[in-house]
């Protein structure tokens, strides 16, 4: 399983690092998310090291997996953060992150988001509209400060990914076109609460080619040169966003941090020394280091020679298959080499026909009610996108660190789920 960071079979039984999954689920029950923290921090180091020689800061995109324990581990390792709301900012600060390594992104920041970020003293805001720019300037002026902003370029570049996670084309709501960036730069002197520190882009998610990054970076540098004479201080921040693809199956490939760094070094050339580079990886740190463990609730024959495997986790827990037709490998926790393969559709219990994790996969025919299966590559945009739809409580989360495991979020109780509601 080259695409599962830290998960492997030992004596036929699935482990996370050295820990038997069955030992975890015996105590926590299912569904349960399990993360291999050592792999996540190794991915961070690999990413950071790929950019050696450049002035570079990694800002992990919190939306991919916003677990406090995970944020704390990354903060302690020196990682910065991309927070997309004051909620994500609150998580970063609670986890002990250094505010000067936090950036705030997002197309619709509210006054409350901006105020919280100004009060925390974050590094900069990624700005996506003139309206937002004016609001930041106003709120910063009121506080007697000048906020660093980085303008998000919409480079109008097509990417080869699912349309719901492509963000760099002119028709998308994200970013500003070069002409609007120029206009904003020429008006900077009228906006006393902001200082344009550089430019950014984010092209989409799950990208495996470096070509769009090369094209977008070339354009970004052109726009940077275009606006520099308009500004009192030369802007030097270049933020290339995230989106670095990972394999979800053995025949899929990743976008390696080394290949991305090589392209960036190549395009920056001699200018590299005067640029502060920012990257915003999310998925590539966590996707393959997390899995969702579920129990088989029921087995039910469907078409001839086909079986519905109904799990105790549903689309409310892991939404990606229903939302993006995403494919996640599903494997038994206990291998049975002697069993014939059984053709099945693996589904959840939610009352929606789209609550299907995978249609047409093979699991051992010896699979029984109560046995465990793993939905792999679920560490990114899994728990962070969960909901309580069908009034199903949010699942337990567990971290494996070294040879120990620990609960990092308790299962929501039924009463937790009702908290804040009034009978009348």
Binding region for ligand LLP (CB under 6 A)? 61, 64, 82, 105, 165, 202, 205-206, 241-244, 280-284, 320, 324, 381
Say whether 351 is catalytic: yes
Cα dist from 252 to 3, 246, 272, 310, whole Å: 9, 8, 32, 27
Token readout for 421 is: 């509601």
Contacts of 79 (CB under 8 A, 6+ apart): 44, 48, 58, 59, 60, 101
- Per the rule left: phi > 0, alpha: psi between -120 and 50, beta: everything else, 4 is beta
- Per the rule left: phi > 0, alpha: psi between -120 and 50, beta: everything else, 295 is beta
Least distance in angstroms from the C-beta of 143 to ligand LLP: 25
Report the C-alpha gap between 145 and 137 in whole angstroms: 9
Least distance in angstroms from the C-beta of 105 to ligand LLP: 4
Least distance in angstroms from the C-beta of 161 to ligand LLP: 9
Report the C-alpha gap between 161 and 7 in whole angstroms: 27
Report the C-alpha gap between 259 and 282 in whole angstroms: 17
Contacts of 264 (CB under 8 A, 6+ apart): 51, 54, 213, 217, 240, 277
Pairing mode, strands 55-61 and 80-83: parallel
- Just list the catalytic residues: 351
């Amino acid at each position: 399983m080259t695409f599962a960071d830290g998960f492997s079979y030992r004596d036929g039984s699935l482990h996370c690092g050295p820990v038997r999954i069955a030992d975890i689920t015996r105590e926590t029950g299912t569904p349960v998310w399990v993360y291999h923290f050592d792999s996540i921090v190794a991915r961070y180091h690999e990413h950071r090291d790929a950019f050696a020689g450049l002035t570079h800061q990694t800002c992990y995109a919190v939306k991919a997996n916003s677990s406090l324990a995970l944020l704390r581990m990354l903060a302690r390792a020196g990682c910065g953060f991309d927070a997309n709301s004051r909620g994500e900012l609150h998580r970063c600060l609670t986890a002990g992150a250094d505010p000067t390594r936090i950036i705030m992104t997002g197309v619709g920041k509210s006054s409350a988001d901006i105020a919280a970020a100004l009060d925390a003293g974050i590094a900069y805001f990624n700005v996506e509209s003139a309206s937002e720019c004016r609001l930041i300037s106003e709120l910063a002026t009121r506080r007697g400060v000048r906020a660093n902003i980085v303008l998000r370029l919409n480079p109008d570049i097509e990417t080869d990914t699912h349309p719901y996670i492509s963000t760099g084309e002119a028709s998308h709501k994200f970013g500003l076109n070069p002409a609007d960036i120029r206009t904003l730069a020429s008006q900077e002197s009228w906006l006393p609460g902001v200082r344009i520190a550089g430019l950014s882009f984010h092209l989409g998610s799950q990208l495996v080619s470096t070509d769009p990054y090369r094209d977008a970076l070339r354009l970004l540098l052109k726009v940077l040169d275009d606006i520099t004479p308009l500004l009192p201080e030369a802007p030097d921040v270049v933020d290339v966003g995230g989106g670095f693809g990972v394999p979800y199956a053995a025949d899929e490939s990743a976008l390696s941090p080394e290949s991305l760094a090589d392209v960036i070094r190549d395009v920056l050339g001699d200018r590299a020394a005067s640029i502060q580079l920012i990257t915003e990886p999310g998925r590539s740190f966590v996707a393959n280091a997390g899995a969702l463990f579920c129990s088989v609730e029921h087995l039910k024959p469907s078409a001839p020679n086909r079986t519905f495997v109904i799990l105790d986790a549903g689309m409310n827990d892991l939404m990606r298959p229903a939302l993006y037709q995403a494919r996640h490998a599903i494997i038994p926790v206990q291998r049975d080499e002697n069993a014939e393969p059984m053709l099945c559709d693996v589904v959840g219990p939610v009352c929606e026909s789209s609550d299907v994790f995978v249609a047409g996969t093979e699991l051992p025919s010896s699979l029984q009610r109560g046995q465990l299966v793993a939905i792999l590559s679920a560490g990114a945009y899994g728990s962070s996108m969960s909901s309580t739809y069908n009034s199903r409580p949010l699942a337990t989360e567990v971290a494996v660190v070294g040879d120990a495991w620990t609960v990092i979020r308790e299962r929501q109780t039924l009463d937790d789920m009702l908290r804040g509601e009034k009978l009348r």
